[in-house]
Amino acid sequence: MQLSRRDALAALSAAGVGSLAGCGAPVASGGTDGDGSGRTVTPNEDDDRRDDEFGGHELATMVAVAGTVYPSAVDGVEGFVRTYTDGRVDGDDAYRGGIAEAVATLDEYTEGLYDARYVDLSSEDRAEALAVMSVDDVDPHPHGTDPQRVRHYLVNELLFALYASPTGASLAGLENPPGHPGGVQSYREGPDR
């Protein structure tokens, strides 16, 4: 299943990024890319330039973590994560700092374990690193322990982005998940709609 920029914008809407613009009229699952978001998120086509502006390493790490925690059934992960993360941290210095700090924590951990930053690990080692760090076994907390902050700012941020989006939730059969203004038709329809 292909993740699109529209999915990233829908996830941003559920993540509370945006005003009520676009929410005043019934919105079905279609619409323009701006529907449901409010705040304009301008995707930067020049990844190199954007990497200089908001931590290219942080973004690359988010993409790498997504590759570990997302299912293999989704494609277009890099563009989705970059668009979502751009919007998520835009104008929110505290959140931007939280992500950067969590990435540094994760890197410090993997450098001690594998002598390499997280992004430089193989996919197997990336999965193992999260497990050894117990990120799979802790409750998320923005001010908690190292694993709790990695879970909050990196893992759960990405899982929320995916599974609160219509495309991600549709992997489990829910095309209008909570937080998405997907109209009042789908709840009436059976699985073979």
Q: Which residues bind another protein (CB under 8 A)?
A: 13-20, 23-27, 38, 68-73, 127, 130, 136-137, 139-143, 152, 155-156, 159-160, 162-164, 168-169, 171-174, 176-184, 186-191
Judged by beta carbon, residue 46 or residue 192, the one nearer another protein is 192
Judged by beta carbon, residue 68 or residue 83, the one nearer another protein is 68
In sign, the C-alpha dihedral spanning 74, 78, 80, 84 is positive
Report d(CA 187, CA 193) in Å as an integer: 11
The CB-of-35 to another protein minimum distance in angstroms stands at 10
Judged by beta carbon, residue 53 or residue 105, the one nearer another protein is 105
Contact between 84 and 11 under an 8 Å Cβ cutoff? The reply is yes
The CB-of-182 to another protein minimum distance in angstroms stands at 5
Neighbouring residues of 72: CB distance < 8 A, sequence distance ≥ 6: none
Q: Name the packing angle between helices 56-69 and 123-132 (round to 10°).
A: 90
The CB-of-135 to another protein minimum distance in angstroms stands at 9
Judged by beta carbon, residue 53 or residue 184, the one nearer another protein is 184
Q: Name the packing angle between helices 93-114 and 56-69 (round to 10°).
A: 70
